[in-house]
Structure 1
Amino acid sequence: MKAVDKLTWHVENLVSQAEEFDKAKWFDKNRYIQSQPSLFSNRLFVSKSLKLRDYVDEIVQSLASLPPETHRHAYQFAITKIGEQIEAVIKVLKSTPVWAKENKPSTQKQQQYRKAVTRIMQSSHELYQELSQNHEFERRLMDMIEERKRLLDDASKTDVEKLNKEIFALHMRLGRCRKAIAATEEKILFAEKQSRS
């Protein structure tokens, strides 16, 4: 089962729970909530509403307009954000009897599911960070090689020897760096394959 399918299944459950929540008018007596322009931060949701269903609808729209999986960075970013949005809605629902009633028989399953999704997201996020760092290291090594090549033009015989040794050593480091990049890319592909199974 793909990560996106798991998230879709979860959102489908949230639709009915959000409707129940809104019908019960849980926020009507809460002056602090009533004074707020929206339930969640702008970072998480575009919607500005005191109705939970509006936020669940936004998640549904986000799922419907996901970038293609081939655009890995954009896809991963969108999946991570949707996961955070779901968690935010769940936190609000958890504070009401609606959640307790709807989820009593399957609380353990849902906890396991949430842990699994979090693990997938965290694993991919860390790998993308590692890949970004490796690419930055690769770029710096290439700059260092180019800089030494430029110095060769005006260098004395002794300096030429020294610079050539440095260039050789930097090329060795660059080779190791590129191997690390390839290994990290393989790990990302494996993590994404796991999330789809």
Structure 2
Amino acid sequence: MSLPLDKLRQRVAELQHHAEQFDKAKWFDKNRYIQSQPSLFDSHVFRSKSLKLSDYVDEVQEALAHLPPPSQRHALQYAVEHIGEQIEAIIKVLKSTPVWAKENRFQPHKKAKVYRQAVKKIMQPSHELYQELSQNHEFERRLQEMISLRQDQLIKASPEQAAQLNKEILALHGRLGRCRKAISATEDKIQQQEKQSRS
């Protein structure tokens, strides 16, 4: 299964294709207002100054290639949000053209939503996965306490009580095993994402 960053790169590659088609069609050649502008977008959205849409997609791809690691949570969040803003701006220009409208006539808002979701998923490891890991560790600690408590009760228990306690201990060990599997799976996801960010 593709990681969120792979998905977003794939989406941006698709965007590059649309931008190249847009540039080839020379949509701005007859637009005097656009021709008089130094660049297509505000300087706070893009550094590039160009009337070629593909140049702006190149800037997005460059930003994706140099994302901060997940450990720098705030920097990563800012970078990803900015990339999201850039993608939205490019899509807004594309949506104003007949080519984009024709290709996406059955789903006018779906494309933009797909890019937004791809951007959002990148942020998951930097907060949701760490939160999930923390909750699982807390659950593991509570299960261990419950097992210890029942093991202490076994010492003074009657045979009937002991049978019931052993049953409960066995069930708790089952839950503990599942909890540890969940911890390992979450740690693997975080490790994969960090590896992906460094590559």
Same-fold status (TM-score > 0.5): yes
Which runs of structure 2 are paired with 1:137-156 in the superposition (5 Å)? none
Structure 1 residues 33 and 111, CA gap change in structure 2 (3 angstroms): closer
Deviations 1:140-184 (A, max 9, x none): xxxxxxxxxxxxxxxxxxxxxxxxxxxxxxxxxxxxxxxxxxxxx
Alpha-carbon distance between aligned partners in 1 of 2:120 and 2:60, rounded to the nearest angstrom: 20
SS in 2 for 1:33: helix
Structure 1 residues 114 and 61, CA gap change in structure 2 (3 angstroms): closer
Shift of 1:111: 5.0
Shift of 1:95: 0.5
Shift of 1:110: 2.8
Name the counterpart of 2:89: 88
Which runs of structure 2 are paired with 1:29-48 in the superposition (5 Å)? 29-48=30-49
Name the counterpart of 1:65: 66
SS in 2 for 1:16: helix
Alpha-carbon distance between aligned partners in 1 of 2:66 and 2:116, rounded to the nearest angstrom: 25
Name the counterpart of 1:98: 99
Shift of 1:99: 1.1
Alpha-carbon distance between aligned partners in 2 of 1:11 and 1:53, rounded to the nearest angstrom: 11
CA contact (8 A) 2:40 2:51 kept: yes
Name the counterpart of 2:7: 6
Shift of 1:108: 6.5
Which runs of structure 2 are paired with 1:1-197 in the superposition (5 Å)? 2-104=3-105, 109-114=110-115, 116-117=117-118
SS in 1 for 2:104: helix
- Runs of 4+ aligned residues of structure 1 deviating over 4 Å after TM superposition are 104-109, 117-123
Structure 1 residues 95 and 108, CA gap change in structure 2 (3 angstroms): closer
Alpha-carbon distance between aligned partners in 2 of 1:4 and 1:73, rounded to the nearest angstrom: 17
Q: TM-score, normalised by structure 1?
A: 0.56
Shift of 1:69: 1.2
Q: TM-score, normalised by structure 2?
A: 0.55
- How many residue pairs get aligned? The number is 129
Shift of 1:109: 4.9
Structure 1 residues 70 and 109, CA gap change in structure 2 (3 angstroms): same
Counterpart of 2:111, as a letter, is Q
> Gaps (5+ residues) in structure 1?
128-188
CA contact (8 A) 1:4 1:79 kept: no
Counterpart of 2:101, as a letter, is A
> Gaps (5+ residues) in structure 2?
128-185, 194-199
How many percent identity over aligned positions? 55
